Amino acid sequence: MAEQIETTEKTKAAQNEKKTDKKKKTQKYNLPRHRFWFGVAKPLVYLYLKIMANFKRQKNDLKKDQPYLILCNHICELDPLMVIVSAPGVIHALASDHLFKHAAFGKFVRHIAEPIPIVRAQMDLKSIKEALQAKKDGGSLLIFPEANCCFSGKTSYIAPATAKLVKQFKMPVALFNVKGGYLTHPKWCHSWRKGKTTCELVRVIEPDELAKMSVDETYEAIVDALTFNDIEYQREKMVYYKGHDMLEGAERMLYQCPKCGVLSAMQSRGDSISCTECGYTVTMNHYGFFEGEDVVFDSFDQWDDWQREQAVKLVTEGHYDASGEEPLLVSDTDELYRAKRAEANVLVGVGSFALYCDRLEFSTKNAFEPDENGAPQNIGPKTYVWPFTEVSKMSCVSKNKVQISVGEKDYYEIHSPQTYRSAYAYMIYFYCFKRHAQGKPLDYFGM
């Protein structure tokens, strides 16, 4: 009997320990420390934005004690900060897991603001669960439905599933527009330009109104509110942007020459970008438009629209090596990393990264694979081959990194030290080839 009682007590103790561990693992949001740091940091962040981006805060009628689901367009890296100083209370943003890959910095950011890491190249259900927990704890949520900074200054693709997600949260929805940010610090560049930026509240959808709206109506409302072209906005305002090296790194985005049509031939220097094949050259003035003797397009959005049209034309008209022997895009000095959500990347090898009409390949002379104990082991030369049928998603993260999801669990990152290797070009052509093989319209170019 005593043995049974002892066994029962041990069982209960083990169950209680499991419950305690489960509680410990549940992330808590909207804590006193978050409220403290947001109160301290917002004035400092606002001062920083005024200095770096000449930011002007717009007044709005959002309630201080009301948590919101905040959606915003995404045109530069400063967007989260602009929204945070424009909306009340603690705001937990769904942010790229790259923010957390540096252990010390990731821990610091988590302590202050507890953003929610999300992997762009995967269907990150864990992030959605964490967002629901943040909502339960009384915090506001910030989501950028484009899932990436736009490339050309205008709102990128917004997935229809966003509307289902919004209705699932059953929160007041605040829709914001950041304006003037693209020319201040576009995704592809290192330098800053000082012009004028602002963050405006476009619309608030209350829960009662949201409940009456269908999924399609909700999606239409989101797209209508967030669709914005910063280049057209600049044509209207003609703000002078003070800065230097205005086009340094632009070949990350402007990857095709509009005069001779050659891919990966553009190279930037300072305020200009030139084609290494035909010599076509343009400079960018302080209003964000291109100038030169023979300008084909005078803005980023026009040039990018043409690039996408050329990609569709190449794939649909068969202007590529259909045998799969010659790559369309190739870079010889890339680095392959095995990646995990919100954890440091693990180097696999250094070598060439190529995109063919039906697959991606990475070849290295010294590949590192984990042994039975998980330690990296040099296995010598190896070529990693990923058919498009196995690559579920591809994304361009940071300034020039390719992120791919292979199968259900694996995902990799390919980094390049050379700006002329455009991660954006890889993403554009990957989706064109993949969707063409599936018989789908070539109207989606990635996120």
| 345 lies in some domain | yes
- Out of 189, 213, 237, a domain closes at 237
- Answer whether residue 38 is part of any domain: yes
CATH of the domain at 392: 2.30.29.30
For residue 72, the cross-strand partners are: 176
Task: Let me know whether 126 and 179 are in one domain.
Answer: yes
In this structure, the chain runs to a length of: 447
Looking at the fold, whether 263 and 379 belong to one and the same domain comes out as no
Q: What pLDDT is attached to residue 206? A: 97
| DSSP codes joined into one string, 330-381 | EEEEEEEEEE-TTS--EEEEEEEEEE-SSEEEEEEEEEEEE-TTS-EEEEEE
| pLDDT, position 120 | 60
Q: Is residue 10 part of a domain?
A: no
- For residues 129 and 232, state if they share a domain: yes
Is the CB of residue 225 less than 8 Å from the CB of residue 203?
yes
Same domain flag for 399 and 368: yes
Structural domains of the chain, count? 3
Tokens 């003609």 locate to: 238
Contact 176, 83 (CB under 8 A): yes
Contact partners, residue 409, CB within 8 Å, separation at least 6: none
Q: Are residues 86 and 233 in the same domain?
A: yes
> Does 267 lie in the same domain as 225?
no
**Does residue 31 lie in a domain region?**
yes
Task: Give the CATH number of the domain where residue 77 resides.
Answer: 3.40.1130
Does 422 lie in the same domain as 360? yes
- Do 67 and 131 sit in the same domain of this protein? yes
> CA 147 to CA 150: how far, in whole Å?
9
pLDDT given at position 376: 85
- Which structural domain, as residue segments, surrounds residue 272? 250-316
Structure tokens at 2: 């005593």
Predicted pLDDT of residue 262: 97
Tell me, yes or no, whether 83 and 155 share the same domain: yes
Does residue 349 belong to any structural domain of this protein?
yes
Listed residue (81, 101, 99) closest to 91, CA to CA = 81
pLDDT tens, N- to C-terminus, the chain (447 residues): 334 334 444 444 445 544 444 444 567 787 888 888 888 999 999 999 999 999 999 999 999 889 999 999 999 989 999 999 999 999 998 877 766 677 677 787 787 888 888 776 455 677 888 888 888 888 899 999 998 899 999 999 999 999 999 999 999 999 999 999 999 999 999 888 999 999 999 999 999 999 999 999 999 999 999 999 999 999 999 999 999 999 999 999 999 999 999 999 999 999 999 999 999 999 999 999 999 988 999 999 999 999 999 999 999 999 999 999 999 999 999 999 998 876 788 999 999 999 999 999 999 999 998 888 878 888 999 999 999 999 999 999 889 999 999 987 788 999 998 888 999 999 999 999 999 999 999 999 998
Q: Is residue 57 located within the same domain as residue 180?
A: yes
- Picking from 286, 316, 346, the residue at the C-terminal end of a domain is 316
**Quick check: 204 and 87 in contact, CB under 8 A?**
no
Q: Is residue 347 part of a domain?
A: yes
125: helix, strand or coil? helix
CA 57 to chain centre: 24
The answer to whether position 447 is within a domain reads: no
User: Which of 213, 237, 261 is the endpoint of a domain?
Assistant: 237
Is the domain of 149 the same as that of 124? yes
Mark whether 408 and 264 lie in a shared domain: no
Range 332-338 contact pairs with CB under 8 angstroms and sequence separation of 24 or more: 333/416, 333/417, 333/418, 334/362, 334/414, 334/415, 334/416, 334/421, 335/414, 335/415, 335/416, 335/417, 336/362, 336/364, 336/384, 336/412, 336/413, 336/414, 337/412, 337/413, 337/414, 337/415, 338/410, 338/412
Question: Residue 88 class from Cβ within 10 Å (0-12 exposed, 13-18 middle, 19+ buried)?
Answer: middle
CB atoms within 10 A of CB 344: 12
Q: Which amino acid is at 48?
A: Y
Task: Give φ, ψ of 339 to 5 degrees.
Answer: -120, 155
156 assigned to some structural domain:
yes
387 three-class SS:
strand
